[in-house]
């Protein structure tokens, strides 16, 4: 148990569906992240939230929409995805600025059909 929990673990969705990924951290951290992990590619940072405010958006397509209602929860809302969006989506958290240890959830394996 890493203290960062992601649900669901697996998700299959059609290109016209709308779904949401959920992340919850029990570590008292103030920063949370969404990463995308595709096969044989580096982890790609998608979004960063610090104290519930979005501080980084790495040119992610608008079909991915993050939401951070409080410092413990992070969502990634998905709509009209493409097959190339199939990947492992990882949530991570860390302390406030200056702390660089990131703790990851187990990820959601997303397949877009």
- x-or-dash pattern for another protein, window 7-46, by CB under 8 A? ------------------------x-x------xxxx-x-
Pick the closer one to another protein by CB: 38 or 82: 38
The contacts of residue 25 (CB under 8 Å, 6+ apart) are: 3, 4, 5, 32, 72, 74, 91, 93, 103
What is the pairing mode between strands 53-57 and 64-70?
Answer: unpaired
Contact set with another protein (CB under 8 A)? 2, 4, 6, 31, 33, 40-43, 45, 48, 50, 55-56, 90, 92, 94, 97-98, 100-107, 109
């Amino acid at each position: 148990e890493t203290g960062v929990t992601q649900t669901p673990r697996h998700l299959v969705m059609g290109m016209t569906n709308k779904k949401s990924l959920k992340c919850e951290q029990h570590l008292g951290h103030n920063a949370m992240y969404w990463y995308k992990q595709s096969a044989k590619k580096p982890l790609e940072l998608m979004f960063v939230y610090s104290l519930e405010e979005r501080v980084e958006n790495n040119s992610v397509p608008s079909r991915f929409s993050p939401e951070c209602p409080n410092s413990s929860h992070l969502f990634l809302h998905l709509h009209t995805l493409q097959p190339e969006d199939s990947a492992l989506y990882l949530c991570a958290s860390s302390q406030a600025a200056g702390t660089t240890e990131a703790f990851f959830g187990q990820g959601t394996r997303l397949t877009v059909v």
